[in-house]
Structure 1
Amino acid sequence: MTIVLVLGSMPGLVAAETAIADSYVVEEGETVDGLEVVGATVVVRGTVDGDLSGLAADVTVAETGVVTGDVNVAAANVDIAGRVDGDVSAAGASVVLAETAVVGGEFRVGASDVRIAGNVAGNVVVGADTIRVAPTAVVGGDLRYDGDISGAESASVAGSVVRDESIGGVNVGVDVAPWVVDGALAVYGFVANLLLGAALLLVLPGFSRAVADRAVTDPLRSGGVGLLTVVGVPVLLVLLVLTLVGIPFAVAGAVLFGLFAWVALVYGRFALGSWLVARAGGDNRWVALTVGLLLGALFGLLPIVGGLVDGIVSLVGLGALVLVLYARYGRGSREEPAAEAGEDVDSGGVPPAA
């Protein structure tokens, strides 16, 4: 899954990109005009003409890779074997500057394990549990470190080699933009919601379709019931707490309501996706789920308006869930047989557009 925002274009050059991806690769011979990315794996074999900023499990600048600006990354594993014309600021569990690597500026790293074997034109500032400096390492400035270091005496260091306890581990000035953290949380939320949504569609296909149908065909009533539920349930929980003996029930109720609200959020986004897919002439529930959750993740990245829209979608989903539960299991309900008779749970379909 990849979401890429491309701004402008010109022949032979991919424009500045902001990407949320499971895996993002700049292939050899490809040029990207700057890159900001959140993903599981980021690999640069080609050229990033500008800065590389990102948050990922693994970030690699291969031997053929070139970054003409700065590298600002946070990852579990950072491996730089290519050329970086600017500074490198990295935080991670393991950071490696390979023998073939060339850094034109400073090299600032915070990690558990750091290995330096390449060429750094400026200063090296490292905070780590273990720091290994290879004989091939060349440092054009000072080498300041905090941690257990080995091999520094055999490397070529133009300046001084100084232990500086003020470096303080990983806090060495890694410049990760706020959007990177927000993007990472959006990816995590999308994956978690996708897993829950898939489970709901597999285990309760008919019920899930009924909730989406109710949300699509009666959004105002669903939203109103959702709002009443959001206000009413916390009030009831507070009243239970005030009775003292009801505190355990209030705690359990709060946990259950949190889970219920999560399910409602997923159903709300599923309903939104269902409506959009139906408008486009489609009828696949899995596409609807994916579209709805992707939009929800994107809403979360938009200030104010995005949160407002997603909140409304969630309220509609919550109200629809309450209404369907009441219709099926509430006292005197007569809607369940009709609902079940009209469901084709194996079709993978979605409710029709209102």
Structure 2
Amino acid sequence: MLFGVVSSNRGVASVIPMFNTRQLVAVFLAVLVLGSVAGVATAQQGPSAGGAVVIDEGETYTGDLEAVGGSVVIAGTVTGDVSVTAGSVVVTETGEIGGTLEGVAGSVTLEGAVGDDVSIAAGAILVRDTAVVGGEMEAAGGDVRIDGTIAGDVRVGAEELLVGPNADIGGALEYDAATATIDSDAAIVGGATRVNDIGFSGPTIFGAPFQDGGFEAPVIPQWVFAGYWLLANLVLGAIVVLVAPQFAQRVTGLGTKKAVRSGGTGLLLVVAVPIVLLLLLLTIIGIPLSFAGGVGFLLALWVASIYGALVLGTWLLSLADYANRWAALALGLFVLAVLDFVPLGGIVEFVVVLVGLGAFALAIRGESGDEGDDGVSATDEGPQEGTPMA
């Protein structure tokens, strides 16, 4: 049978690219979405759910298995292909897959038999000496270790590759790795060749091929993405200002008059909240709270970026003694969009988000600016001499 148990995710990519604030939020959201549906298995015979997807020893699963979970363990037999997206994937010594194995995971351990090809991408990939692969193998990962039997060719893109003494490769080995160790006792019929920028089809995730530890997707000009994001932020900003104008006024007052305090509060939240969410994730009861809290925090970061843009635009317009909340919103968001194309612009964006997040949190606590009128001007008439701006 298929049943669910709780399992911790492990394994991360060895090379982590630098992201700007919006890309980091997008990646974090994708991880949370995957985690929130952890344990859902979909196959020809119907769905099953749980913290992990397990095929017990002695159990036979007929057909193809497509599984998403915190962990996927195959100790029995799957007659068809297996496609997985999980924190960890293990095919035990008693596990047997009749078709292909394809997946993206934090870690993959192969101890049993796969009748056809293997195509996997993971932070850590281990093919033990008991493993038998009837076809070819393609692997992209941070740490790849091969010590089993593979009938066909092997292609590896990794940070570190280790081919053990029990490895028996019936074809050729092509690899692109920062460091590679091939034991002299390893049997490689077609020989081993180091190549640069190795490419292969690899597994698919979200409909896109996973190659060399990254996604191969259609190239979209950065200005298109920036324009789309600017439009989305303008819509959200208009909603924020129209639905809660007095609250927006208080947040903007805090951001402009208590910028250092707001930024410090925002930095504390950015550090503390993820730690709390990870601690909750370690407990069974806290897992749903962690996912819900993570999604809520991401939404808060997005709203905070809007308030941060409003604060930035307010400050810039105040230099010209101009007070208009809509102009401030548009100007702030436009400046943030332009910063995407400026070296070190991401640092400024990050500071703006911190100020917006901190001011947002302080406003929820009931704090306000030092002066009486600390927010967005109630009127939007244009230049107003001496009028505080938000």
Give the TM-score taking structure 1 as reference length: 0.49
TM-score norm. by structure 2 comes to: 0.45
Higher helix share: 1
